[in-house]
Amino acid sequence: MRTQKPSVKLEDWAVVPSAKPGNYEALKPGNLLVGRAFGHQRIKQGTFIFSSPIVRVDARRGVAETRNTCYDLGEISPDYQAWLLQQPNRTAA
């Protein structure tokens, strides 16, 4: 029997290709989310986290899922939003 994934609110979020600092990436499977987590049962409120790889994105609902967690995407990082606006054929999330 499959259980529902825990839902975590992610604020000041961005998308990166790996846990190494540097580049931003598009919101798509395989990349990682970074941001401040709220509502996680084992992580202190507002702690900056790196997620495991994204497996599914529902941009219309503002939700990204990893293997074990469903992230409700809150406020986007201003730096990430600026990066998105500079990308050809992309718009801000």
pLDDT in tens, 4-23: 888 999 999 999 998 877 79
Cβ-contact 73, 62 below 8 angstroms: yes
Task: List, for residues 30-65, the tens digit of each pLDDT value.
Answer: 999 999 999 988 889 999 999 999 999 999 999 999
pLDDT in tens, 24-35: 999 999 999 999
| pLDDT at residue 47 in the model | 95
* φ and ψ at residue 25, rounded to 5 degrees: -140, 175
User: Three-state SS for 86?
Assistant: helix
Give me 84's structure tokens.
């998105």
| Type and span of the H or E element at 21 | none
Beta-bridge partners for 63: 58, 72
> Would the CA dihedral through 23, 24, 29, 32 be positive or negative?
positive
Torsion of CA 77, 13, 46, 8, to 10 degrees: 150
